[in-house]
Chains A and B, each alone.
Chain A
Amino acid sequence: KNEVEQSPQNLTAQEGEFITINCSYSVGISALHWLQQHPGGGIVSLFMLSSGKKKHGRLIATINIQEKHSSLHITASHPRDSAVYICGVQGAQKLVFGQGTRLTINP
């Protein structure tokens, strides 16, 4: 079993829909990261959080440390949100990543 599991692996939705991507992990962590990767490979860090909830624009990330679970939500989704979203959990020296969720938003 992987240390970090994301679901779903692939998600297709219509523009305007509310999107939820889930991340579960099995190890103790100091923080959790959500990253966005567009075609071509460039990675952008969206959130780093260790408790509660963070919000940037239409993006919201939550984490439940006791349940070892985090969610990334996108409100009013747009085709430009189409990307791979990667969850990473932070140990002392390294990040361990999930396999990513490929999100496609159709106009």
Chain B
Amino acid sequence: DAGVTQSPTHLIKTRGQHVTLRCSPISGHKSVSWYQQVLGQGPQFIFQYYEKEERGRGNFPDRFSARQFPNYSSELNVNALLLGDSALYLCASSLWSGSGFKTEAFFGQGTRLTVV
């Protein structure tokens, strides 16, 4: 069974552009979370989606948005890119109920975004 897959693996964008990152969870996992990891720091929570609804949002500006599709895959969108958005963007899938995680989170390899 495939693990969590993210695309693209690397991306270079110019300031002010828009970017879309994609994530496919492990089969059977209905929860997808997005994290931003800046070099030298731990991942920071951006969003959690479950059953196509946003269930949690981290302290990120409105330029960041996401959605989850009926097949539970997810997209993370970032508008008006800034140099500071350069980071590794990680997607994690898990079994999750309304009261919390039922399994550990399984992470994709990440998308490394460079904004120039």
- Could you tell me which A residues sit within 8 Å of B by CB distance? 4, 30-31, 33, 35, 40-45, 47-48, 86, 88, 90-100
Contacts and interface: CB of A to CB of B under 8 A. Distances in A.
Contacts of A41: 37, 88, 90, 109-110, 112
B21 to A, nearest CB: 14
Interface of B is mostly: strand
A106 to B, nearest CB: 22
B79 to A, nearest CB: 22
B18 interface: no
Nearest to A96: B45
Nearest to A93: B56
B74 interface: no
Given A30-B101, A90-B100, A43 B107 contact: yes
B107 A86 contact: no
Nearest to A84: B42
B33 interface: yes
Given A42-B109, A93-B48, A94-B58, A48 B104 contact: yes
Given A43-B90, A43-B110, 19 more contacts: A30-B101, A31-B100, A40-B109, A42-B109, A44-B107, A45-B105, A48-B103, A86-B42, A92-B56, A93-B48, A94-B33, A94-B48, A94-B56, A95-B35, A95-B92, A95-B105, A97-B43, A97-B44, A99-B40
Contacts, number: 66
Main secondary structure of the interface of A (DSSP, over half): strand
B32 to A, nearest CB: 12
Interface of B: 33, 35, 37, 40-45, 48, 55-56, 58, 88, 90, 92, 99-101, 103-107, 109-110, 112
A32 B15 CA distance: 37
Contacts of B106: 45
B101 A31 contact: yes
Given A41-B112, A42-B109, A45-B106, A94 B42 contact: no
B42 A93 contact: no
